[in-house]
Structure 1
Amino acid sequence: MAKRILIVEDEKNIVDILSFNLGREGYQTLEAYDGDAGLQLALEQDPDLILLDLMLPKRNGFDVCRSLRAQGRSTPVIMLTAREEETDKVLGLELGADDYITKPFSMRELLARVKANIRRSEMVAAGPAAQAAGQRVELGRISIDTELMVAYKDGRALELTQREYELLKFLGSQRGKVFSREALMEHVWNYEGYVGDVRAVDVAVRRLREKIEDDPASPQFIVTRRGMGYFFNA
């Protein structure tokens, strides 16, 4: 069954280009031209992924993403924005967007990101069936139950997002090994041969530290190796 992608974008020429190219790749598309209509379609149609413009009539992309996550929807969201300001991109990630791409973008890059985010969502949905039954990774005070897809600190379950769980599981499974931001984009975000903006990694690491570290300002678990990347210290 074809994957369905919701395009929420107020510029019709962009919607037409996206719909055409996504259709050629075998995706079905839904279209909305303002934030209110986009949110309604997202909730009613439950698409496999949402391409969400930042600047929209009636309700902006930030508000749409915030509302989706507040209602417990985990649909992958890629934000489309013409803005270059770092604060906008980081805010989108903080509100629950999975990724962003800045206009003008190449169709090849956008399609690669769509494919990667849908693949990641499918892997998460597979859940325990895709995991070794009962496998538990012990990392000192941190432990990860890969069957239940739950991480614990000092025996207490942590409330992690899917991305935070995947990041912790990946670094924890290869503790002591340093991974660059680009490598993490490949292994955790599923972007093969990734070259580009990597601040999504820094946002995810910071949010994960806020949940697992005794003192996020002085991390003991997810540690930075200056100029190289991150590693799990256990």
Structure 2
Amino acid sequence: MAYPLPRTVLIVDDDPHIRHVLGFAFGKAGVASVEAADGEAALIAVARSAPDLVVLDINMPRMDGLEVCRRLRADGNAVPILFLSSRDDEIDRVLGIELGADDYVVKPFSPREVVARAGAILRRSAAPAVQAAEIGVTHGLLRLDTAGWQAFWAGAEVVLTVTEFSLLAALAAAPQRILSRDVLIDRLHGPGFAVTDRTIDSHIRNVRRKFAECGARDVIETRAGIGYRLGPCGRE
């Protein structure tokens, strides 16, 4: 795995062995890492180190990973988050995604899987998500600046996570096409990643909710049994 710029990952877990194993795995992949042992330390580390991605355990003392994610998103921090969970529970997974996480891995996990999933997120944030949209996209009241990873509705910025932005950019690159969940998973993660349809649906809900707060009700359309496509975005 190689990146055009040095990348830093913050590893947050109360288990020092997990932090060490993941730090070693990321180091072998050419990614620098910093560590935090609990949620409070994680918030401090994000402010100090400005990592490119946070690998965040859910179950931790003092402040759990869900609360860390809530606080980061409430502050407008869109740093990509990869959750680690010890509970193989779909509700927990979807809750994490709805809070603004980009992906999740369930313990026990392979360090190589964590690095691979983190790598997919880092690659999306290192380059424009869709080649056809390299100079940006304007569709109705929606505007995407793929160079700056910014989304706007009627001139107002809508803060999205890396995955949310990539998902919207994929739809905007083919505004007349309906993209199935499987196609969207391949666009976001690459082939072979075990990502459920429900996770894609959670990301879609997040995008819709964020745009609805700016008055947008038609940014993404659902075609039942088929998939999603870009909505009219305020166009008559």
TM-score, with structure 2 as normaliser: 0.78
Q: Which has the higher contact order (CA 8 A, sep 6+)?
A: 2
* Sequence identity percentage: 36
Unaligned runs of 5+ in 2: none
SS in 2 for 1:96: coil
Residue aligning to 1:196? 195
Partners of 2:165 and 2:141 in 1: how far apart?
12
Equivalent position of 1:71 in the other structure: 75
Tell me, in whole angstroms, the C-alpha distance in 2 between the residues paired with 1:28 and 1:136.
33
Alignment partners' CA distance in 2, 1:207 and 1:177: 21
Q: In structure 1, which of residues 10, 13, 38 is the aligned counterpart of residue 14 of structure 2?
A: 10
Deviation at 1:142, TM superposition (A): 4.1
**Counterpart amino acid of 2:181?**
R
- How far is 1:109 from its partner? 2.2
> How far off is 1:210 after superposition?
3.4
RMSD of aligned Cα (Å)? 2.9
Q: What SS does the corresponding residue of 2:185 show, helix, strand or coil?
A: helix
* Structure 1: gaps (5+ residues): 214-218
Cα offset for 1:136?
Answer: 4.6
1:39 and 2:43 are equivalent in the alignment:
yes
Query: Which residue of structure 1 lines up, in the alignment, with residue 172 of structure 2?
Result: 172
Query: 2:229 matched to 1:231?
Result: yes
Per-residue CA shift, 1:11-46, capped at 9, x if unaligned?
222222111211111122212222222221121111
1:210 aligns to 2:209 (yes or no)? yes
Q: Is 1:90 aligned to 2:94, yes or no?
A: yes
Name the SS for the 1:185 alignment partner: helix
User: What is the distance in 2 between the residues matched to 1:160 and 1:38?
Assistant: 21
Q: What's the offset of the Cα at 1:202?
A: 0.4
Deviates more, 1:55-64 or 1:83-92: 83-92
> Which one has a bigger Cα radius of gyration?
1
Deviations for 1:155-174, whole angstroms, at most 9, x for unmatched residues? 46462414444433321331
Number of aligned residue pairs: give it: 220
The answer to whether the 8 A contact 2:66-2:96 is kept is yes
CA-to-aligned-CA distance 1:211-232 (integer Å, 9 cap, x gap): 557xxxxx86533333332223
Give SS of 1:210's match.
Answer: helix
Aligned to 2:158, what secondary structure does the other structure show? coil
Aligned residue for 2:104, secondary structure, equals strand
CA–CA distance in structure 2, aligned partners of residues 85 and 77 of structure 1? 18
Give the counterpart letter for 1:111 in structure 2.
Answer: V
Say if 2:137 and 2:172, in contact at 8 Å, map to a contact too: no
> Which of 130, 134, 145 is matched with 1:131 structurally?
134
